[in-house]
Chains A and B, each alone.
Chain A
Amino acid sequence: MDPRVLEAMLPYFVEKFGNAASRNHSFGWVAEEAVDYAREQIAKLIGADPKEIILTSGATEADNLALKGVFEMYATKGNHIITATTEHKAVLDTCKHIEKMGGQVTYLEVQPDGLIDLKQLEAAITDKTILISIMYGNNEIGVIQPVKEISAIARKHGVLFFTDATQAVGKIPVDVQADGIDLMAFSAHKMYGPKGVGALYVRRKNPRVKVTAQMDGGGHERGMRSGTMNVPGIVGFGKACEIAMNEMEAEGKRLSILRDKLENALMELEEAYVNGNIQHRLPHVCNISFKYVEGEGLMMGFNKNIAVSSGSACTSASLEPSYVLKALGLGDDLAHSSLRFGLGRYTTEAEIDFTIDAIKTTVLKLREMSPLWEMFKEGIDLNTIEWAHH
C-alpha cells in the first residue's frame, strides 16, 4: 500500500469513528462527508458520476453483484450471458453459479494471443442475451481486450456490457463514457489502496442500468449493496484513485520501459516465449514460458528475493497449470514452464537488473538438470516419447 493512502486513512479509525450511515449526529456527518469525497475521487478516475459508484468489499463482490444482479434484474428479458474462458475465477465461478440457477452462459474461446474474436462475440448473441462480460486487462498475461469494439457490439444489440477492470483501472486510462461500459468492477488494492475495498460502476444514463442487490439489509448504496460502510478503507480507496490519476501517465511509461527491459533480456534465452499479445497489453505485466524448465522449480531459485508467480495467485495452491495459458492453446508442458511478472510502483531498475540475472542463472542451471532439455539438445522430439502419465 502507498504510505500516502495509509496517512489518509488513519484519522478514520479512532478520531473520526462515525458511521457514514448515521445521519443524525456530527460523527456520522464527518464519516459521510469522507465517503462522499472518496466516492468523487473514485468516480473521477473512471469518468463516472459519483452516484454510479457502488462500494463493495472488493472486485470479487463487485463481479458477483454485476453478474447475479443483472441476471436477476433482467430475468424477464432473457437468461443468456456471454463471457470468455480467460476471465478471472470471480467471473467464471459466478457464471457457473448462474448456470445452476437456470442461466445460459457462452464461454468464448480466445485467440492464441489472448484476444477475443469480435465476430465470434457478435455471433454468440441471441435474443435471450442480457449481458456480455469481458475483462478489461487480463491478470495473468496483461492482454487488453478491445473494450470499445465490444461495447459497440453490445449497444448495437441492446445487450449490457460488464467488464472486470481490476487489473486496468489505475494502470491505464479507463473511461466508462468513452469505453461505453455499463458495469465495471475494480478494486483498491490493485492500485496501492487497502485490501477489502472495491467498487462496481453501474451506469445511470443511456441506458439506466439496475442490478438486484445480492446483499440485503439497510438499503445502503442506493439499495444495491447493504452493509455498514468500511469508512477508512473507502477513504483509502479514494486517495489511491487520486494518486493513480495524477501519476498514471508517467508511471505507465516508467513501468513499460522496465517491463520491456526485463522481457527483452529474458528473451535472449533460448526457447523462451512471451505469452499473450504484446501490443495490447498492460504496462506492468509480462508472462514468459521457459521451455524445458518447470515454473515452480524455477521460482524456487529466487523466491527469497523476488516475488513472481507460476499460474495465478488464485490457483497456485494447486498443481494444475494456468487455465488462462491453456486457453491460449499452450500445451500443459509450456503452461507448466511459465512465469508471470508483475511490476509495481516500487519496482526499481536495480531490481529489474537483479531479476534478469537471477532468472537467467536459474534457467540455465535447471536446464543443465533437465532431462527434457538434454533430449531437446540431442534432437529428440519429445512428442514421440511414450510418457508414463500419472
Chain B
Amino acid sequence: MAYSDKVIDHYSNPKNVGTLDKSKNNVGTGLVGAPECGDVMRLQIEVDEESGVIKDAKFKTFGCGSAIASSSLATEWLKGKTVDQAIAIDNMDIVEELNLPPVKIHCSVLAEDAIKAAINDYRVKNGLPELELEEKKH
C-alpha cells in the first residue's frame, strides 16, 4: 500500500521531534500505546501560563510511518492553540489531513489520545480536574 505524500513528508522531515523538561509545571506529557502493540507515542506541550497558549510541542514516536506522521502533525497543530482549543482536535481531522487508509486510523486515535493525555497531565499538575475522555476504538 502506498503512503500519501503528506505521510511521506512528515516521515522524512518530522516536525518538532524532541523532549521537553517534564519536571516543569507548565509542561504536560502524554505517553500512550505499548511496545508490544508496535506503537508508542510521547507528546509534550509547553503552555504559556498567562495566556493558556501552547507555545511549544514536541514528540517522539516508536511506530510506523503513519504513527510518526500523525504525531508530527499533532505537534504542528498544537502550537499556537490554547489548551481548550487543543482538546477539540479530533482523530478524524488527522485522518483527513494525512489521507490515512482504514488500517492506519488507529495511529490517528493514538495521536488524539496522546494530546489528551498531555493536556490532562498539564491540568493535574496545575490543580485542575482531569478531563473525562471518551474511549475511541483503536
A residues with a Cβ closer than 8 A to B are: 292-294, 296-297, 300-301, 319, 321, 331-333, 336, 368-374, 382, 385, 387-390
* Minimal beta-carbon separation of B26 from chain A (angstroms): 21
Pair A300/B42 contact, Cβ less than 8 Å: no
Q: How far in angstroms is the closest Cβ of chain A from B37?
A: 6
Give every chain A residue within 8 A of B106 (Cβ-Cβ).
390
Given A300-B3, A374-B19, A388-B32, answer yes or no on A332-B37 (Cβ-Cβ < 8 Å): yes
How many angstroms between the C-alpha atoms of A210 and B35 in the bound complex?
48
Please report the C-alpha to C-alpha distance between residue A371 and residue B3 in the assembled complex, in whole angstroms: 23
Give min CB distance, B20 to chain A, whole Å: 12
* Smallest CB separation, A225 vs chain B (Å): 35
Q: How far is the CA of A299 from the CA of B42 in the complex (A)?
A: 21
Residue in B closest to A321 when the chains form the complex, CB atoms:
B38
CB-based contact A390/B65 at 8 Å:
no
Report the minimum CB–CB distance from B108 to chain A (whole Å).
Answer: 13
Contact B35–A336 (Cβ < 8 Å): yes
Chain A contacts for B34, CB-based, 8 A = 387-390
User: Once the chains bind, are A369 and B35 in contact (CB under 8 Å)?
Assistant: no
B89 on the A face (CB < 8 A) = no
CB of A319 within 8 A of CB of B62, answer: no
C-alpha spacing A293/B67, complex, angstroms: 12
Q: How far is A284 from B103 in the complex, measured between Cα atoms in Å?
A: 32
Asked if A369 and B61 sit within 8 Å, CB to CB, the answer is yes
Contact of B65 among A293, A297, A368, A372 (CB under 8 A): A297
User: Do B62 and A294 touch across chains, with their CB atoms under 8 A apart?
Assistant: yes
Does more than half of chain B's interface fall in helix, strand or loop, or is it mixed?
A: mixed
Across the interface, B35 reaches (CB within 8 A) one of A296, A319, A332, A374, namely A332
Q: Taking the complex as formed, is B33 at the interface, i.e. its CB lies under 8 A from any CB of chain A? A: yes
Please state if B68 and A296 are interface contacts (CB–CB under 8 Å). no
CA distance A218 to B19 in the complex (A): 70
Q: Could you list some 5 contacts between A and B, CB below 8 A?
A: A336-B38, A369-B61, A374-B60, A388-B34, A390-B33
The complex places the Cα of A282 from the Cα of B71 at a distance, in Å, of 40
Does B64 belong to the interface (CB within 8 Å)?
yes
Which residues of chain B (68-118) have a CB below 8 Å from chain A?
A: 68, 103, 106, 109-110, 113
Considering only CB atoms, which chain B residue lies closest to A382 in the complex?
A: B35
Q: How far is the CA of A333 from the CA of B63 in the complex (A)?
A: 11
Q: A371-B41, A372-B40 are in contact. Are A333 and B35 (CB under 8 A)?
A: yes
A389 to B39, CA, bound (A): 10
Distance of A369 Cα from B62 Cα, bound (Å)? 7
Contact A369-B60, Cβ < 8 Å, known A297-B68, A388-B32, A390-B33? yes
Name A368's closest neighbour in chain B (CB-CB): B17
Knowing A368-B17, A369-B68, A390-B110, say if A292 contacts B62 (CB, 8 Å): yes
Is B5 an interface residue, CB under 8 A from the partner? Answer: no
Judging by beta carbons under 8 Å apart, are A370 and B60 in contact? yes
Q: Does B31 contact A (CB under 8 A)?
A: yes
Separation of A300 and B19 alpha carbons in the complex (Å): 24
Most-contacted residue by chain A among B3, B65, B67 (CB, 10 A):
B65
Are B38 and A300 interface neighbours, CB within 8 A?
no
Which chain A positions have C-beta within 8 A of B17? 368-369
List B contacts of A336 (CB < 8 A). 35-36, 38
Chain B residues with CB below 8 A from A301, complex form: 11
Q: Which chain B residues lie closer than 8 Å to A296 at the CB level?
A: 38, 63-65
Cα–Cα distance between A301 and B3 once the two chains are bound (Å): 12
Contacts of A333 in B (CB 8 A): 35-36
Shortest C-beta distance, A146 to chain B (Å), equals: 32
Beyond contacts A319-B38, A390-B138: 20 other A-B pairs, Cβ-Cβ < 8 A, are: A292-B62, A293-B62, A294-B39, A294-B62, A297-B11, A297-B64, A300-B3, A300-B8, A331-B35, A332-B37, A333-B36, A336-B35, A336-B38, A369-B68, A370-B40, A370-B62, A387-B36, A388-B33, A390-B106, A390-B109
Residues of B within 8 A of A373 (CB): 62
In the assembled complex, the CB of A171 is this many whole angstroms from the nearest CB of chain B, namely 30
Partner of A294, one of B32, B64, B110, B138: B64
Tell me the bound Cα distance from A280 to B67 in angstroms: 37
Q: Does B28 contact A (CB under 8 A)?
A: no
* Distance (whole angstroms) from the CB of B12 to the closest CB of chain A: 9
Contacts of B14 in A (CB 8 A): 369
Tell me if B64 and A371 are in contact (CB < 8 A). no
Which 5 residue pairs of A and B lie closest in terms of their CB atoms, listed nearest first? A387-B34, A332-B36, A333-B35, A296-B64, A371-B42
Question: In the bound complex, how far is the Cα of B2 from the Cα of A300, in angstroms?
Answer: 10
Q: Is the CB of B19 within 8 A of A294?
A: no
Q: Which residue of A lies closest to B103 (CB)?
A: A319
Distance from A389 Cβ to chain B, minimum over Cβ atoms (Å): 5
* Nearest CB of chain B from residue A385's CB, rounded to whole Å: 8
Contact residues, B29-67 vs A (CB, 8 A): 31-42, 60-65, 67
- In the assembly, what is the distance between CA of A193 and CA of B68, in Å? 39
